[in-house]
């Protein structure tokens, strides 16, 4: 439908900022679709039509200047930005009919910003057509994310999150009793400064890199992450919070342990910030401090998986035809069945057991941790 008006929903880059060809620079909306407009060239952005203003298809809404100085003999090259007919671009699929669960509809730019800034889309109210979340909504949510979350505000968030996850996510659970001798050996060598939870988190972050189909989120589609932002279930007097350790796969064991102590303390003293509760790509819930062997948890939506662990305990096992005593630990992988299957859970258990067996070598004195 040529000539359909286009609204400049948001400029993703400020006036006068340098951009590269192909960078998303604006978000355009019509009644039927939301699209990103990419820079047609590399240079300096000059805005012609402001955000919030309607423009006709094929109207010039901005320029990209190459940044060369203007002289009497020359002027900088200019590339114009003209929105094409949105019907011919890839429109966003219409939202399904309303159900008891909330369908998250967000633009590509909003999803990218949410990932970068650790903002959970299910906590954002969209201002676009039909409640669509647009980039400016993420910016606003991020600005408010420095407010501490404490008391019944945290409890309300926990209840809402658990209810939504249980209602919306088709759970499957894949479990196994893994060899935990590596945990026991490393724990004994490192002393009380490093906990079993630290060793599990350290190993799980690396195991998730080997099973990327479980590291990410599911909203109106699967979005996988190349970085492991590991959430930890933490019991507080107002409920279970799940603050996130960013880039857990890149942290040395001592660094991860220090960050784990910081976020656990912040959760239990009511000093967590909203941003610290978002952006996780998977969750670890460890109840090994209690006489708990196995439990089936509720996934921290919109994440794809949650790994639940029980107590580490010695028990008789058969090794090479002989009975010996080794430490074992139950591990249960809860998976959103829309995003992944049980086979992925089996591969994660295999990878995690291997990572756990490597702990003594990885944490030996003089070794890079």
Cα-flanking dihedrals φ and ψ of residue 251, to 5°?
-85, 140
Domain with CATH 4.10.320.10 in the chain: 108-146
Domain with CATH 2.40.50.100 in the chain: 6-81
Is residue 300 within 8 Å of residue 242, measured between CB atoms?
yes
Q: What is the SS3 assignment for the chain?
A: CCCCCEEEEEECCCCCCEECCCCEEEEEECCCCEEEEECCCCEEEEECCCCCCEECCCCCCEEEECCCCCCCCCCCCEEEECCCCCCCCCCCCCCCCCCCCCCCCECHHHHHHHHHHCCCHHHCCCCCHHHCECHHHHHHHHHHHHCEECHHHHHHHHHHHHHHHHHHCCEEEEEEEEECHHHHHHHHHHCCCCCHHHHHHHHHHHHHHHCHHHCEEECCCEEECCCCCEEECEEECCEEECCEECCHHHCCHHHHHHHHHHHHHHHHCCCEEHHHHCCCCEEEEECCCCCCCCCCCCCCCCECEEEEECCCEEEEEEECCEEEEEEEEEEEEEEECCCCCHHHHHHHHHHHHHHHHCHHHHCCCCCCC
Query: Which class does domain 108-146 fall in?
Result: few secondary structures
Please give the CATH number for the structural domain made up of 151-362. 3.30.559.10
Longest dimension (CA), the chain: 90
Domain with CATH 3.30.559.10 in the chain: 151-362
pLDDT of residue 175: 98
CATH of 6-81, one of 2.40.50.100, 3.40.50.970, 3.40.50.1220, 3.30.450.40: 2.40.50.100
pLDDT of residue 362: 86
Cβ burial, residue 282 (10 Å; 0-12/13-18/19+): buried
Q: How far is CA 68 from CA 25, 275, 365, in A?
A: 21, 40, 56
pLDDT tens over the chain, length 369 residues: 345 567 888 888 888 888 888 778 888 876 555 677 888 888 899 999 888 888 877 788 888 887 654 444 444 455 666 664 443 333 333 333 333 344 677 777 778 777 766 777 877 777 665 667 877 667 656 555 545 565 555 666 677 778 888 888 999 999 999 999 999 999 999 987 899 999 999 999 999 999 999 999 998 789 999 999 999 999 988 788 899 999 999 999 999 999 999 999 999 998 888 778 888 999 999 999 999 999 999 998 899 999 999 999 999 999 899 999 999 999 999 999 999 999 999 999 999 999 999 999 987 765 544
pLDDT of residue 244: 95
pLDDT of residue 274: 76
């Amino acid at each position: 439908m040529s000539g359909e008006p286009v609204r400049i929903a948001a400029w993703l880059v400020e006036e006068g900022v340098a951009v590269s060809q192909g960078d998303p620079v604006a978000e355009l909306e019509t009644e039927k679709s939301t699209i990103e407009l990419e820079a047609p060239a590399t240079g300096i952005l000059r805005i012609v039509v402001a955000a919030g203003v309607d423009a006709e298809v094929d109207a010039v809404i901005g320029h990209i200047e190459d940044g060369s100085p203007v002289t009497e003999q020359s002027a900088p090259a200019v590339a114009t930005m003209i929105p094409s007919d949105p019907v011919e671009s890839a429109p966003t699929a219409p939202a399904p009919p309303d159900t008891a669960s909330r369908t998250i509809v967000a633009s590509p730019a909003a999803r990218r910003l949410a990932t970068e800034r650790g903002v959970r889309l299910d906590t954002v109210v969209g201002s676009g057509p039909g409640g669509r979340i647009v980039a400016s909504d993420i910016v606003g949510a991020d600005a408010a994310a420095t407010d501490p979350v404490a008391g019944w505000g945290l409890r309300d968030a926990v209840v809402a999150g658990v209810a939504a996850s249980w209602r919306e996510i088709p759970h499957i659970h894949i479990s196994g009793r893994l060899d935990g001798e590596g945990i026991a050996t490393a724990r004994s060598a490192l002393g009380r400064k490093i906990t079993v939870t630290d060793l599990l988190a350290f190993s799980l972050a690396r195991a998730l890199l080997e099973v990327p189909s479980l590291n990410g989120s599911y909203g109106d589609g699967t979005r996988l992450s190349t970085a492991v932002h590991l959430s930890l279930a933490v019991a507080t007097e107002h409920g279970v919070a799940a603050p996130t350790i960013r880039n857990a796969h890149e942290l040395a064991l001592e660094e991860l342990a220090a960050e784990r102590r910081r976020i656990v303390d912040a959760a239990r003293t009511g000093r967590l910030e909203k941003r610290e509760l978002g952006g996780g790509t998977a969750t670890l819930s460890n109840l090994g401090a209690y006489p708990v062997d196995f439990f089936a948890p509720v996934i921290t939506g919109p994440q794809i998986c949650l790994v639940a662990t029980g107590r580490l305990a010695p028990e008789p096992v058969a090794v090479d035809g002989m009975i010996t005593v080794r430490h074992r630990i139950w591990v249960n992988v809860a998976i959103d069945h829309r995003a992944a299957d049980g086979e992925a859970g089996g591969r994660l258990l295999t990878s995690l057991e291997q990572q756990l067996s490597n702990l003594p070598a990885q944490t030996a004195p003089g070794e890079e941790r």
